[in-house]
Amino acid sequence: MATKRLNLDSEEQLRRAYMPFIKQGALFLATEDSYKLGDELTLVVRLPEDTEDTLVKGVVVWLSPATTSRSDLRGIGVQFKDDKSHLRNRIETKLGSLGESASPTATM
């Protein structure tokens, strides 16, 4: 099982990466690596203002292919599969303070 790191330095980066429309929550990971739907991996996530990494197992549920014209939008969406650290709840708590935003996310 592959391991990928995702450092989110600001709440705005977190908002752009989070995929709330995916059941159980998911994060978008910009990558040039090739994945297929259903591939499993471990994410090492550092949320804004956190001092420690959070590990969460996940499954690829979203593909943004290399043919995308903007290189920052190439990547995968990883649905949380084994969220023992309650990453989804922590993300939604952090994002709750931002309210609604008209800025686009990495996936929508």
- In three-state form (DSSP H/G/I as H, E/B as E, the rest C), the secondary structure along the chain is CEEEEEECCCHHHHHHHECCCCCCCEEEEECCCCCCCCCEEEEEEECCCCCCCEEEEEEEEEEECCCCCCHHHCEEEEEEEECCCCHHHHHHHHHHCCCCCCCCCCCC
Domain that holds residue 21: 2-96
Count up the domains in the chain and report the number: 1
The CATH number given to whatever domain includes residue 7 is 2.40.10.220
Domain annotation covers residue 105? no
Q: Is residue 6 part of a domain?
A: yes
- The residue that leads in pLDDT, 20 or 102, is 20
**57 located within any domain:** yes
In a domain, residue 107? The reply is no
User: Among residues of the chain, what percentage have pLDDT more than 90?
Assistant: 70
pLDDT in tens, 55-96: 999 999 999 876 645 555 789 999 999 888 899 999 999 998
